[in-house]
Structure 1
Amino acid sequence: MKKFKQGIVSEVKKQKAENEKQKNLQEKYHVKKDVLIVEKSNMAKFTVNLLGTIVRLVCTIIILTLAVIGLTVLIYPDIRSEFLIVVQDIYSSLKMMIG
């Protein structure tokens, strides 16, 4: 008898969870209450989202690294002069390559 009651309780909980999920999906997609919505997994969408997340993470790391370098150059005057020499050398090299 106890197994039977636990089975009924778990089924009721699953049904409530499914109803709540459907309610959220119906609100999300603005459809009528009598429509059953089935969301399917899309590998292409997942891949694009994953690549976007990776690109965003890499850009954040690069920006933070450049910020640390900039702060270091601003704080220490000896490093600042060396950095300016390196930047001038890069600028002259780029100028020679372009024109």
Structure 2
Amino acid sequence: MDYYTGTLEADVPGGVIDAEAVYEIDAAWSRNRDRYGMRQILHINDFCLESWTFDGRQQTRATAVALLGEAEVERQEEFALEAWRSTAEQDDADGWADYRHDMAAE
């Protein structure tokens, strides 16, 4: 499982908020890395809102659906998926490089 921290926008009494949100990603990655440490995302099996924070409290996806509606939550999940996907492969390669560097330093 991968996780992405982004936002969930909610129109609540008093205005619009951008709440910190954690999305859970079930993605299939290529097994092998290229010479630059890169792997490819082969397929996204599932991507969903895991939790979000409002007024200092962690909320569930069900709470977001009750507040915003299923269609709006799904729309925002799609935006979050695109944001994650735009950097996921490079972020993974950077993490791999950091790991290799740390292992070599030991």
Answer 1 or 2: which has greater strand percent: 2
Answer 1 or 2: which has greater helix percent: 1
- Structure possessing the higher relative contact order (Cα contacts under 8 Å, 6 or more residues apart): 2
